[in-house]
Structure 1
Amino acid sequence: MSVHPVSSLSTTVATLRHAGCVFAEDEAALLNEAARSPQELTALVERRAAGLPLEHVVGWAEFRGRRFGVDTGVFVPRRRTEFLVAQAVALAPRRAVVVDLCCGSGALGVALATEASAAELHACDVEPAAVRCARRNVGALGQVYEGDLFGPLPATLRGRVDVLLANVPYVPTDDVELLPAEARVHEPRVALDGGGDGLDVMRRVAAEAPGWLAPGASLLVETSERQRDAAVEVVGSAGLVPRVVVCEELYATVVIGTAAQ
């Protein structure tokens, strides 16, 4: 229910436009929905106009048709990454064992596990804030661990993982400062910075992945178009059979590495 009259909503749109929000009308409607009073709406608009990501302001992000809680300081799942999950769903066998590395809010793992009717979901992230957020989103659907990549996963998962999602950071270090302020200032650097060429974390994941994957299982990683050839080489050098799938509409590039049968 609207907490402000139409005239005030128009003022909100104007404020957001002045702050540089491209989709001011849509954002104004979401902020109006989230606010429980005119005073709270004013506070929410001020936070958004100051540059806080909309998802952090309203406390959720939409991903694959569902709303997931996203706390301040937690990486916001991107719409293009829905393509990564769609590829994973297509590959997941019945009652799959799913691992979501660098899980952030947990949105990717939950979407995959739900759509694929997974038997097990295991997610982990190195950021404590992300782990807290992911645990709320995952709930009873699976387990969320705090730690670096495969480090916190139970050893009993070795050789049993059917689908390994790794939405690793892939922005080259020198390019991080070129990102929009919403990401650069308000999201954790560890979720953005992929090292010198952007592929450092991907290399670490690919190197260990074969030891965790079941025969014929797959690792899926998102990358950029300009990094695709290097990413393919990274995945192939780890002993996985790589292939690339692209969604031009979402500007999404996914590298899939499949383990030997």
Structure 2
Amino acid sequence: MLPTPDLSHLTKKDLEEVYEPAEDTFLLLDALEVDYDYLKGSKPSICLEIGSGSGCVTSFLGNIIGSTAYFCTDINPHACRCTQRTGKQNNVNIQVIHGSLASPLELRLASKVDVLLFNPPYVPTSDDEVGHAQSDGKIEGAWAGGSGGMQITNVMLSKVKNLLSPSGRFYLVALKENNVPGIIKLMREMYTLTGEIVLQRHAGREHLFILRFSHL
């Protein structure tokens, strides 16, 4: 079992402004560990995490894969700084870009991303709430998901096919209320990407899933 990345450098103040790793984070780490042999053996050239928060997930991935190009984006500038520091704390060189979803890198990384990660704001909220959360670039943007918890996720889903390399994999965290079968169906029918559930877990009131997508 691989250790969770060292986050001892993060202060109480940091975790008031940045999403603290929780059950959804740890389930994503477990899913990456399930795919350890593939991730290690495929020797990815480019890995991209959308909404990196503390930097825990990409640092974990870096300790599986080793030396390669790691990119992260986040709308929260404090999260960008924390991700950079977490990478350094765990000997993973992460290039962090402040911006929304993949927008700063869409053209540069088109058809080049071998591992794409997204733990989205998946909690169902009002559309007004998600709008304010995204525009403010604060911690609320890490969980406020709008109608069905899918407002931000749907935007990102439309970008995945163009980002993934021919052998690339996309890992997505989802909540049961997000309609997991509907997500898998959408990705197949609209974007010709095949998807499956890697892991699922109950965490309090939440029923969490990790979905994995790749080209047909």
**TM interval, short-chain normalised:** 0.7 to 0.9
Change (3 A) 1:248 1:151: closer
Does structure 2 conserve the Cα–Cα contact (< 8 Å) formed by 1:206 and 1:234? no
Q: Which amino acid aligns with 2:26?
A: E
> In 1, Cα distance between the equivalents of 2:94 and 2:200?
29
Q: CA deviation at 1:194?
A: 1.0
Using the aligned pairs only, state the percent identity: 22
Q: CA deviation at 1:246?
A: 2.7
In terms of fraction of residues, the more strand-rich structure is 2
Partner SS, residue 254 of structure 1: strand
> In 1, Cα distance between the equivalents of 2:3 and 2:191?
31
Change (3 A) 1:154 1:256: closer
Indicate yes or no: 2:206 matched with 1:255. no
Does structure 2 conserve the Cα–Cα contact (< 8 Å) formed by 1:101 and 1:123? yes
Q: CA deviation at 1:249?
A: 6.4
Counterpart residue number, 2:58: 109
Partner SS, residue 173 of structure 1: coil
Highest relative contact order (Cα 8 Å, sep 6+), 1 or 2?
A: 2
Counterpart residue number, 2:20: 76
Which of the pair has more CA radius of gyration? 1
Q: CA deviation at 1:229?
A: 2.0
Q: CA deviation at 1:154?
A: 6.7
122-131 vs 242-251, which moves further: 242-251
Counterpart residue number, 1:95: 43
Change (3 A) 1:94 1:218: closer
1:215-230 alignment runs, 5 A limit: 215-227=166-178, 228-230=180-182
Root-mean-square deviation (Å): 2.6
> In 1, Cα distance between the equivalents of 2:31 and 2:65?
11
Q: Which amino acid aligns with 1:65?
A: T
User: CA deviation digits over 1:20-74, x for unaligned, max 9?
Assistant: xxxxxxxxxxxxxxxxxxxxxxxxxxxxxxxxxxxxxxxxxxx943322261310
TM-score normalised by structure 2 residue count: 0.77
Tell me how many residue pairs correspond in the alignment: 189
1:1-261 alignment runs, 5 A limit: 64-68=3-7, 69=10, 71=14, 72-89=16-33, 90=35, 91-92=38-39, 93-96=41-44, 97-139=46-88, 141-153=93-105, 155-174=107-126, 188-227=139-178, 228-236=180-188, 237-248=190-201, 252-260=208-216
89-98 vs 142-151, which moves further: 89-98
> In 1, Cα distance between the equivalents of 2:74 and 2:85?
14
Q: CA deviation at 1:241?
A: 0.7
Does structure 2 conserve the Cα–Cα contact (< 8 Å) formed by 1:231 and 1:255? no
Does structure 2 conserve the Cα–Cα contact (< 8 Å) formed by 1:88 and 1:165? no
> In 2, Cα distance between the equivalents of 1:243 and 1:138?
29
Does structure 2 conserve the Cα–Cα contact (< 8 Å) formed by 1:223 and 1:231? no
Does structure 2 conserve the Cα–Cα contact (< 8 Å) formed by 1:135 and 1:144? yes
Does structure 1 conserve the Cα–Cα contact (< 8 Å) formed by 2:31 and 2:199? no
Q: CA deviation at 1:87?
A: 2.5
User: CA deviation digits over 1:146-181, x for unaligned, max 9?
Assistant: 00011122733221111100111100115xx9xxxx
